[in-house]
Amino acid sequence: MAGITTHVLDTSVGRPAEGVPVVLEQLDGEGWTEVGSGLTDGDGRLADLLASDRLEAATYRLRFDTAAYFGSRGVEGFYPEVLIRFRVTDAGTHHHVPLLLSPFGYSTYRGS
């Protein structure tokens, strides 16, 4: 099934990051347009960011509000926001973009 999903793991506590606000935006001729948003669930996942019938070959970015996430836990992080920009060239395939997160660092990769 095509679409865009994400999964956030808080490596500082070794658990999924629940309640991270995430916004998905698509780049078009006018700039960035929001096409999906939500909060990660108890497993750190957000599976309904963009339905397969709306996925287009384009450049997208995910905005993770890490300040809100860490702030709700009484933790001060170094990065108030994480932006991940990526390109979809085949709108018929699934795109999973995980985020490994800690208060002072993060990494990402193309998942499956």
One digit per residue, the tens of pLDDT, for the chain of length 112 reads: 678 999 999 999 999 999 999 999 999 988 999 999 999 999 999 988 886 678 999 999 999 999 999 999 999 999 999 999 999 999 989 999 999 999 999 999 999 8
Calculate the dihedral angle through the C-alpha atoms of 98, 32, 34, 79, rounding to the nearest 10 degrees. Answer: 50
Compute the distance between CA of residue 83 and CA of residue 93 in angstroms, rounded to an integer.
Answer: 22
Strands 15-16 and 3-10, by their bridges, are antiparallel
97 in Cβ contact with 70 (< 8 Å): no
User: Would you say 94 and 110 are in contact if contact means Cβ atoms under 8 Å apart?
Assistant: no
Predicted confidence at residue 76, as pLDDT, reads: 95
Residue 51: the pLDDT is 66
Alpha carbon distances (Å) from 106 to 26, 55, 61, 69: 22, 26, 16, 14
pTM listed for this prediction: 0.94
- CATH number of the structural domain spanning residue 63: 2.60.40.180
Domain residues for the domain of 93 are 3-108
The SS3 call for residue 99 is: strand
Q: For position 52, what pLDDT does the model report?
A: 66
The conformation of residue 85, written as its DSSP 8-state character, comes to: E
pLDDT at residue 41, rounded to an integer: 97
